[in-house]
Amino acid sequence: MKRLVEMSIFKGLKEIEIENILKKVRYNIKKYKKDEVIAFRGDEVNNMLILLEGFLYTEMQKNDGKCIKIDELKKGDILASAFIFGEMNYYPVDIYCKSDAEIFCITKSELLKLFRLNEQILVNYLNNISTKTQFLSKKIWFDFKNKSIIEKLRDYINENIKEDNTFKFHKSLKDISETFGVARPSLSRTLSHLIDKKIIERIGKNHYKILDEDKLLEEE
């Protein structure tokens, strides 16, 4: 119980308070070995998991099969806290044990009961989600505003490409350029450059076909 006092979700509560509250809900503590898998990307998030001991790391597999290390989790972290509720409640990454680990596990229904038993726990949980969302929002904005036009265009293409290697701007170039935070003539010049180098081909109004994916990735 002493370990739980240090967890952010029980912040502001005394050990005896936590002990009395947890007597009224069902939970368990699971043990994992180093290199063991906690969850795979796409698994449904049915429980709230809090890391009590050890270290975890998260990975995401790219289309080419390579894995990118996303983050490391330490004692006290809640796993995928923003994905426990909502329509898309699936793990966004694979989660592995970097060392032997112990995890506090409580089902979604019992977690709701926990919220009803103590408002401070609910506030702590919401603060956890809000802090992560605010951090992610700042990171996305920083990354986005510091990208070049071609990098932003590649991101757009990756999100909108079809099986036949075509993509379409679903808004006007003016609207797209405003979304990118660039001048419309600059976006037009970038597209013209890609067409001239036969990297993409214009096949209709705001409709393009990728001719050379490798060269598109190499453009700076």
In the chain, the percentage of residues whose pLDDT exceeds 70 is: 94
Give the tens place of pLDDT for each residue, 66-115.
677 778 898 989 999 889 998 889 998 899 999 999 999 999 999 999 99
Of the candidates 83, 66, 63, the residue with the CA atom closest to the CA atom of residue 136: 83
In this prediction, residues 47-54 reach a mean pLDDT of 94
Q: 84, 111 in Cβ contact below 8 A?
A: yes
pTM across the whole model: 0.64
Interaxial angle between packed helices 149-160 and 173-180, expressed in degrees from 0 to 180 and rounded to the nearest 10: 120
* In 64-205, alpha helices (H): 108-117, 119-145, 149-160, 173-180, 184-196
Please give the structure tokens belonging to residue 119.
Answer: 């408002």
Q: 85-99, 130-144, 198-212: which has the minimum mean pLDDT?
A: 130-144
User: Pairing mode, if any, of strands 200-204 and 166-168?
Assistant: unpaired
Q: Go through the domains of the chain in sequence order and give each one's CATH number.
A: 2-140 (2.60.120.10), 149-218 (1.10.10.10)
pLDDT band at 139 (very low <50, low <70, confident <90, very high): low
